[in-house]
């Protein structure tokens, strides 16, 4: 075994091979540890050790482009893993995987930095108490409650409101729960990052927020590590400042994709459907750090891309195993003007049981799902025969389901400047009260439009109720 170097001696090696993002380096004095950062080409190229091939040779993955590297060049061991800055000074800033600011402003504050490779909290520190994370968004809190310290998946295509929903949750976290929000873009288009930064600034939530991006054009090593960097920043706010953190990841599939690229470059034999054999371990090393401890909680909402809409794809299957709630955004609902466009029948949560959310909440949620499902089945009959052909009982179901659908729409704080409607934060108690009153028939005489884009149910009272015959005619006319 080579002798240890003295503290002031720099451990240098020579590049033996360059294959795209994979670089092999020979060290004569001391072989660097796994995860150590190695610099080459006057520190312009950053490499991370992923395996030790022999007592002298290491294989590294590049976190920055490798243009200009050649065999025989000198490489320098930094002696430690990749570190990112942590602390209050990171708030309102935008970083890359190295912890360098990319928002074009000065960043000279001296602050502590921490390794991005941290262990998940010990089992003894994890809180076993299931708590609901209240978002202030009616349809989420009633039908698919999120877990404090849990992970929720947000499934949806382009243009159905994923980003708007994420920004609203950031706003509510900052303004109502005095927490910190961290946005992590993995494999994001740089246009999306710039737009999000601008939207957050206009919405006034940037001051309690940190943004990190590993963009689409960056090497796979960079995209593979930016999630770990974001979690390190989140863990500081949870463990040191005892705050609740909302961590938004867009898109968790790109993390798996980057890992697959790294694995392929390393020459590992691919597993099922071409994915890396270490897929489960890599995803777990990231997801298990998101937890609820005695200090605070990191609650994560992750956008999930499902390849070719195949939910049996290994990437989707492994991601599902970590999630405690699933929010499915529907393009059909978005086109009908129902925002947030969450599909109430496809979305679900593991917390939606009477032992966690209580009997009243559970009962209301079940009744709402049941009446919406019945309305879904009656839609074909209404389209063919008309509403008047239904029985009185079925007409009541349709009327109440349509009013519930409209009650679940909500004006957002982050869209005030576009819609002209003042944003609403609605507590769970207010939402349950509204659902119960609609289900009991109290609002059957009110026009459907009275319940559209309001906050709590009492706001509908300001509208003049119509006669019962008119409201059924209105529903009939729309079909």
Active-site residue list = 162, 188-189
Token reading at 442 = 């109290």
Using DSSP, state whether 313 is helix, strand or coil.
coil
In degrees, rounded to 5, the angle at the alpha carbon of residue 182 between the alpha carbons of residues 50 and 240 is 85
| Closest listed residue to residue 245, CA positions, set 305, 192, 181 | 181
What does the alpha-carbon distance between residue 473 and residue 387 come to, in Å, rounded to a whole number? Answer: 9
Q: In 3-state terms, what secondary structure has residue 325? A: strand
Q: Which residues contact 3 (CB under 8 A, 6 or more apart)?
A: 29, 30
Inter-residue contact 324 to 144 (CB < 8 Å) = no
First to last CA, the chain: 80
Q: Residue 450's closest CA among 470, 467, 464?
A: 464
Give me the numbers of helices (H) and strands (E) for the chain, helices first please: 14, 18
**Structure tokens given for 173:** 């976290």
Write out the DSSP string of 37-106.
EEEETTTTEEEEEEEE-SSSEEEEEESS--TT--TT-EEEEEEEE-EEE-SGGGTT-EE-TTS-B-SSS-
- 73/12 Cα distance (integer angstroms): 10
Cα three-residue angle 183-186-192, rounded to 5 degrees: 70
Closest CA to 460 of 468, 469, 451: 451
């Amino acid at each position: 075994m080579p002798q240890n170097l003295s503290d002031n001696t720099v451990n240098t090696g020579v590049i033996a091979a360059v294959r795209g993002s994979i670089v092999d380096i020979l060290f004569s004095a001391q072989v660097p540890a796994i995860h150590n950062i190695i610099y080459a080409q006057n520190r312009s190229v950053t490499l991370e050790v992923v395996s030790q091939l022999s007592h002298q040779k290491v294989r590294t993955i590049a976190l920055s482009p490798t243009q200009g590297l050649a065999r025989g060049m000198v490489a320098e061991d930094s002696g430690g893993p990749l570190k990112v800055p942590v602390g209050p000074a990171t708030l309102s800033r935008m970083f890359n995987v190295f912890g360098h600011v990319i928002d074009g402003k000065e960043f000279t504050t001296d602050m502590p930095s921490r390794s991005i490779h941290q262990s998940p909290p010990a089992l003894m520190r994890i809180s076993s108490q299931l708590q609901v994370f209240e978002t202030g968004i009616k349809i989420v809190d009633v039908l698919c409650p999120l877990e404090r310290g849990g992970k929720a998946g947000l499934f949806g295509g382009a243009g159905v409101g994923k980003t708007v929903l994420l920004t609203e949750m950031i706003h509510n976290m900052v303004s109502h729960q005095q927490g910190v929000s961290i946005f992590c873009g993995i494999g994001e288009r740089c246009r999306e990052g710039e737009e999000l930064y601008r939207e957050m600034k206009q919405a006034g939530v940037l001051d309690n927020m940190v943004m990190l991006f590993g963009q689409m054009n960056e090497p796979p090593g960079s995209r593979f590590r930016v999630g770990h960097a974001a979690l390190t920043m989140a863990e500081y706010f949870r463990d040191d400042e005892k705050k609740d953190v909302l961590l938004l990841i867009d898109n968790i599939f790109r993390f798996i994709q980057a890992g697959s690229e790294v694995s392929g470059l390393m020459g590992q034999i691919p597993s099922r459907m071409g994915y890396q054999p270490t897929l489960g371990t890599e995803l777990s090393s990231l997801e298990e750090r998101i937890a609820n401890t005695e200090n605070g909680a990191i609650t994560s909402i992750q956008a999930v891309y499902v390849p070719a809409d195949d939910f049996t794809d290994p990437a989707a299957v492994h991601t599902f195993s970590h999630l405690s709630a699933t929010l499915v955004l529907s393009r059909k609902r978005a086109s009908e003007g129902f925002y947030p466009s969450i599909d109430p029948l496809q979305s679900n949560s593991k917390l939606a049981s009477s032992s966690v959310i209580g009997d009243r909440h559970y009962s209301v949620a079940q009744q709402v799902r049941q009446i919406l499902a019945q309305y879904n089945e009656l839609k074909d009959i209404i389209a063919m025969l008309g509403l008047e052909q239904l029985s009185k009982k079925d007409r009541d179901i349709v009327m109440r389901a349509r009013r519930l659908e409209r009650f679940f729409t909500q004006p957002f704080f982050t869209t005030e400047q576009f819609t002209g409607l003042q944003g609403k934060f609605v507590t769970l108690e207010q939402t349950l009260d509204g659902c119960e009153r609609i289900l009991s028939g109290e609002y059957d005489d009110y026009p459907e439009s009275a319940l559209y884009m309001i906050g709590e149910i009492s706001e509908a009272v300001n509208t003049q109720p119509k006669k019962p015959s008119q409201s059924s005619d209105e529903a009939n006319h729309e079909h």
